[in-house]
């Protein structure tokens, strides 16, 4: 660690390593955002209905959950840098592959692979961000996640425009070129971290101690509400509060805008007040926001609630991931694989269950009750102290 934490590296080389890992978050978000506008064309090309499309999207989620723990094991054995590079290179051409699939059966495999490498790269780049935090002795995780959000925004916005004006295949080629370009820029600057020989013997086994699972629970209960707002917020505003089509879109816009802004500011807040206090304030803010949305009598008040929820939720997951990557006696890849797998499983699978319940009860009661999960986060918030243990502090 002396080599990694030398003053020369901190003052000169470290900003490059931070830029490199930020570009990897940007690229991963760009792939995810670029996929979203392709979904209608993908469905039409394969001649499938909503149910089959839902199963294909489920394959994406299963691929993520399968490869995330495997990536954690390889990070412990090889270091995060190598795993980031391999997964980023493998992920770059997959949108092009999806564009060229000839039938549903090939699409099943392609969706599993896409989800798998998106998830595996997610674990690796979060582990690399943890290592950069250690060498810089300051928080960067929130801004890294802000770059992911920015990549998703750029990917979805550019994807719609390019497909409308140039077609599906040119868009896929463009996205592939962008991904490889970002990898090429980041490649020489990426932080080279050492494997963890004391934990490499864990290989692909999951940790037996309760701490990583408790932090994973924080990530899970932070991401379930996020997925619920993203998937069902607009429908709630439209169907239950009588919002227009244009106004119902503002719920998602307000939520995502405040989340992105606060993620860029979150590192400074956490460095000043500490991870535990920041997590608690964020959790209470998110709780108040979602309760306000669920009980709101009008759409504008519900949108204000979603904006407050975005402020709160923005830094809950980055803090959980930093804590997962800094647990004593556990390699960052192992702890992060647990937190990311549990967190993303909530974002991938809980909204579908919530949609089924909401069909029978309405979404107002759901948005008012989901904040119960935040009470569990508050109870476990003292474990966020590990997010502040960077570089031996």
Distance of CA 307 to the CA centre of its chain: 19
Torsion of CA 120, 121, 127, 131, to 10 degrees: 150
CATH numbers and ranges of domains, the chain: 7-189 (1.20.1250.20), 210-388 (1.20.1250.20)
Q: How far apart are the first and last CA of the chain?
A: 13
| pLDDT mean over 357-369 | 85
Higher pLDDT, 329 or 217: 217
Measure the CA–CA gap between 216 and 325, rounded to whole angstroms.
11
pLDDT in tens, 155-190: 877 887 888 889 889 999 999 999 999 999 999 999
Whether residue 72 contacts residue 160, with contact meaning beta carbons closer than 8 Å, is answered with no
Among the residue ranges 85-94, 108-117, 262-271, 293-302, the one predicted with the least confidence is 262-271
pLDDT in tens, 273-287: 888 999 999 999 999
Which residue in this structure is represented by tokens 């460095």? 271
Among the residue ranges 64-78, 256-270, 379-393, the one predicted with the least confidence is 379-393
Two structure tokens written together for 316 = 């809950």
Highest-scoring range by mean pLDDT, 89-93, 145-149, 333-337, 350-354? 89-93
- Predicted TM-score of the model (pTM): 0.76
Question: 10 Å Cβ neighbour count for 264?
Answer: 16
Distance of CA 298 to the CA centre of its chain: 31
Torsion of CA 157, 159, 163, 166, to 10 degrees: 90
Measure the CA–CA gap between 303 and 283, rounded to whole angstroms.
18
C-beta pairs of 9-12 under 8 Å, 24+ apart in sequence: 9/135, 10/135, 10/136, 10/137
| pLDDT mean over 44-62 | 79
Measure the CA–CA gap between 335 and 328, rounded to whole angstroms.
10
Q: Is the pLDDT of residue 379 over 80?
A: yes
pLDDT in tens, 144-164: 988 988 888 788 778 878 888
Question: 10 Å Cβ neighbour count for 158?
Answer: 18
pLDDT in tens, 297-342: 999 999 999 999 989 998 898 899 888 877 777 766 677 778 888 8
């Amino acid at each position: 660690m002396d080599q990694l934490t030398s003053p020369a590296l901190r003052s000169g080389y470290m900003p490059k390593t931070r830029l490199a890992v930020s570009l990897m978050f940007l690229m991963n978000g760009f792939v995810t955002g670029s996929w979203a506008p392709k979904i209608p064309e993908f469905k039409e090309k394969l001649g499938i209905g909503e149910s089959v499309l839902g199963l294909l999207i489920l394959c994406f989620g299963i691929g993520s959950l399968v490869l995330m723990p495997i990536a954690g094991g390889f990070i412990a054995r090889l270091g995060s840098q190598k795993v980031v590079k391999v997964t980023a290179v493998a992920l770059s051409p997959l949108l092009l592959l999806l564009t060229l699939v000839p039938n549903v059966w090939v699409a099943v495999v392609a969706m599993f692979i896409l989800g798998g490498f998106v998830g595996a790269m997610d674990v690796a780049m979060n582990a690399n961000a943890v290592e950069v935090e250690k060498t810089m002795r300051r928080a960067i995780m929130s801004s890294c996640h802000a770059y992911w959000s920015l990549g998703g925004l750029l990917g979805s916005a550019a994807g719609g425009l390019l497909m409308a004006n140039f077609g599906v295949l040119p868009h896929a080629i463009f996205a592939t070129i962008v991904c490889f370009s970002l990898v090429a820029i980041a490649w020489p600057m990426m932080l080279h971290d050492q494997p963890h020989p004391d934990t490499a013997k864990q290989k692909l086994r999951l940790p037996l101690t309760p701490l990583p699972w408790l932090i994973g629970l924080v990530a899970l209960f932070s991401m379930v509400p996020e997925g619920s707002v993203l998937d069902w917020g607009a429908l709630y505003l439209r169907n239950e509060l009588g919002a227009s089509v244009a106004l119902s879109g503002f719920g998602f816009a307000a939520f995502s805008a405040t989340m992105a802004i606060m993620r860029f500011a979150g590192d400074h807040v956490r460095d000043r007040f500490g991870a535990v206090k920041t997590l608690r304030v964020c959790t209470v803010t998110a709780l108040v926001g979602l309760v306000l949305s669920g009980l709101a009598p009008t759409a504008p008040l519900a949108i204000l609630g979603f904006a407050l929820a975005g402020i709160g939720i923005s830094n809950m997951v980055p803090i959980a991931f930093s804590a997962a990557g800094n647990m004593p006696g556990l390699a960052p890849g192992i702890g992060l694989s647990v937190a990311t797998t549990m967190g993303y499983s909530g974002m991938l699978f809980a909204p579908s269950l919530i949609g089924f319940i909401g069909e029978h009860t309405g979404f107002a009661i759901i948005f008012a009750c989901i904040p119960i999960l935040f009470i569990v986060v508050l109870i476990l918030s003292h474990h966020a102290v590990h997010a502040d243990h960077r570089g031996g502090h």
